A and B are shown apart, each in its own frame.
Chain A
Amino acid sequence: GENVEQHPSTLSVQEGDSAVIKCTYSDSASNYFPWYKQELGKRPQLIIDIRSNVGEKKDQRIAVTLNKTAKHFSLHITETQPEDSAVYFCAARPPSGGGADGLTFGKGTHLIIQP
C-alpha cells in the first residue's frame, strides 16, 4: 500500500517568516495530494490540494508543489501568523479501481509560530 513520509515533525518559525513542510510518497500511481490543518481538539481542515497533472498551486499565503518524478510534494506558508500554529498533515490518495479510496496520511508536522 501507499506510504507517506513527512518532515519535519516539529517546525518553529518566527512570525512573518516562511515555513516549508515536505512529504514523500511511495506509490507512483497516487494522483491526489491534499494538505490538512488540525488545531487542538478540532477536525482536520483541508487547506490546499494538488492533483498529479499539476506541478504547483497557490492560494494566497499557501502554496503546494509536486514533483512526480521524485515522488515528493511540499507545503509552503509565507508571512506566517500566530493563527497558523497547528498540526499539518499531508496525504496521498492511491488510484481508484472504480470505487472511492481513502487517504494515507503522513505523521504530521507541529508548526509553532513564535511571536
Chain B
Amino acid sequence: DTEVTQTPKHLVMGMTNKKSLKCEQHMGHRAMYWYKQKAKKPPELMFVYSYEKLSINESVPSRFSPECPNSSLLNLHLHALQPEDSALYLCASSLTPRVSSYEQYFGPGTRLTVT
C-alpha cells in the first residue's frame, strides 16, 4: 500500500454535532500531519505528530482535537464547529522527521461543510 487514505470523502455537520475524520497509511511513515485548505488557498498546517506524539499545534482552536492511536492512524475529532471551519482537511505523512526523508505525501482530503 503506497498511499494515504482519508475517510469520509465528504462530511456535512451542524454546529452542535460531534464527528471525526480518519486518516490511514501503511507505508511505515512515522510523521503525520493535518492541514486545512480553504478554496483557492494553500494548505495551512494544523497539527504534526512525530512517532505518535503531538509535536506541533499551530494554535488551532480546541474544537479541533487530534489523536494518533498508532503509527498508521490519525484522527481529527470535531466538536462545536463554526461555518468558517468549512474547508478541505488534508492528512499527510512522511517517513520520519530526519533530513533524508522529508517528502510529505497527501491523502485525498475530507471536504467538510458546517451548516
A115 in the interface (beta carbon within 8 A): no
B74 in the interface (beta carbon within 8 A): no
In the bound assembly, the distance between CA atoms of A36 and B35 in angstroms comes to 14
Q: Do A46 and B105 touch (CB < 8 A)?
A: yes
Contacts of A100 in B (CB 8 A): 31, 33, 48-50, 55-56, 94, 96-97
> Considering residues A42, A45, A99, A102, which has the most beta carbons from chain B within 10 angstroms of its beta carbon?
A102
Contacts of A106 in B (CB 8 A): 42
B104 in the interface (beta carbon within 8 A): yes
Q: Do A34 and B42 touch (CB < 8 A)?
A: no
B21 in the interface (beta carbon within 8 A): no
Q: Please judge, given known A-B contacts A43-B109, A100-B94, whether A32 and B99 are in contact too, CB under 8 Å.
A: yes
Enumerate chain B interface residues (CB-CB to A < 8 A): 31, 33, 35, 40-45, 48-50, 53, 55-56, 58, 90, 94, 96-97, 99, 102-109
